[in-house]
Amino acid sequence: MTKRLPFLLLLILLLPCWGIALKPGGDLGVYYQASTWLQRGWVAKLYSDNAEIGNFFYGPFGLALLKPLAFLSFSGANLFWLGLQTLSYCGFWFFLFKIFPELLSPIKKGLFLLVWVISIKPIHASFQSHNVQLIFAAILAASEWGSRSGSVFQRWLSGIAVALVASIKIYPLFIALYYFLKRPKEVKMGLLMGGLISLLIPLGVFGISTGLSLPKLFTANLLHYHQVYDLAKDTVSLSLPSLLATYLPKTWVDHGAISLGIGLISLVFFVDTFFQRNMALSTNERHSWAFLWAMMGLLNSTTRPDYFIYFVPAFASLPLLVEKEKMKKVYYVGLTVSVFLIAFITEWVLGSRELTHHLESLRIPVLGILLLCLMQFVALRNKLKI
């Protein structure tokens, strides 16, 4: 029974997700309307005048993928999306188990329970909102496994996949840059090929003239994002930028303090990554990857509860990093606090939607994310010194 417990818990988590995802809506409604517009030839309008369908901030390659969706009925599209989400759910856990096989160890069942608890909120949110985060997480987890594979083909494919995901939503560029600094040359070549594919596919789908105009239109639309979703006012925006926007003086924010702060942190992260690229042992790469995902979630201005899937690997990594540390009890206390702030600030725990939104508006979960990233950074640096 002990060996089957993780799979039983994963099934228990999946069943209510199916129940809530059977009701069409959320972002799928936006995707479906976008597909309808694309079939009508309203490609440029999708970037310039999209408020009536719920706003749309996806790259040109994403448009090419979405165009066929409206060939299905809306209920058919919902069933298709549910199948895609379910496949992604299985894929995410499959590759997470590959990267952290300790999760299936009977003597470390507490580690799986920790990771499973943390995963409930983002996975439930992904199914509920019909969003792409779980799909992206599965692809990026598979890419991480493939990027360190002995197969040249898998390394190429990993790079291509990361670049294509980053061409749909901007934030995975964080991973793409990391891979360009740290991964083998085949992964780097795959990144370049994926970038080229993401530019060529829209040309074939929408025509040369329209396809060439889309990157510029997408960039202009993307710069409009925080006029639609104000960082300081968007309750469920839970990231370092939203924390800064909430508490820094408005004049600082207006003069670019957030961009400067996030830019400096990102620069330090990648400079450190560059100088550490030949020092990190291959056995520590999975821990560096977990830290990468957590930092991406922290720094990404659009992070919401469904993006919390990117913190799950850090909770698999951190207990393994510190299990032989003298100060591990301190880390365990920190983990407890982090779990509470990240996973339990929810309506189904607090019993109040208003209280949940109030705590989120105060960016309380971001404090848990900051604590997690700090602990992961210190533990990883200590590991690399050994």
What pTM, to 2 d.p., does this model score? 0.94
Contact 237, 302 (CB under 8 A): yes
The yes-or-no verdict on residue 156 having pLDDT over 70 is yes
Band (277; pLDDT cuts 50, 70, 90): low
Length of the chain: 386
The yes-or-no verdict on residue 282 having pLDDT over 70 is no
Counting DSSP H helices and E strands in the chain, the numbers are 21, 0
Contact 54, 163 (CB under 8 A): no
Q: What is the pLDDT of residues 23-57, one digit of tens each?
A: 888 899 999 999 999 999 888 888 877 767 777 78
Over residues 9-17, the mean pLDDT reads 95
So where are the chain's domains? 229-386
Whole-angstrom distance, CA of residue 362 vs CA of residue 374: 20
Query: 87-115 in b/e burial notation, b at 16+ Cβ within 10 A?
Result: ebbebbbebbbebbebbeeeebeebbebb
CA angle 70-54-134, nearest 5°? Answer: 70
User: Considering the chain, what percentage of its residues have pLDDT values greater than 70?
Assistant: 96
pLDDT at 21: 92
CB atoms near residue 52 (< 10 Å)? 9
Q: Residue type at 226?
A: H
Whole-angstrom distance, CA of residue 194 vs CA of residue 81: 24
Mind giving me the DSSP string for 224-288? Answer: THHHHS-TTT-TT--SHHHHHHHHS-HHHHHTTHHHHHHHHHHHHHHHHHHHHTTTS-GGGHHHH
Contact 299, 305 (CB under 8 A): no
Q: What is the pLDDT of residues 162-184, one digit of tens each?
A: 999 999 999 999 999 999 998 99
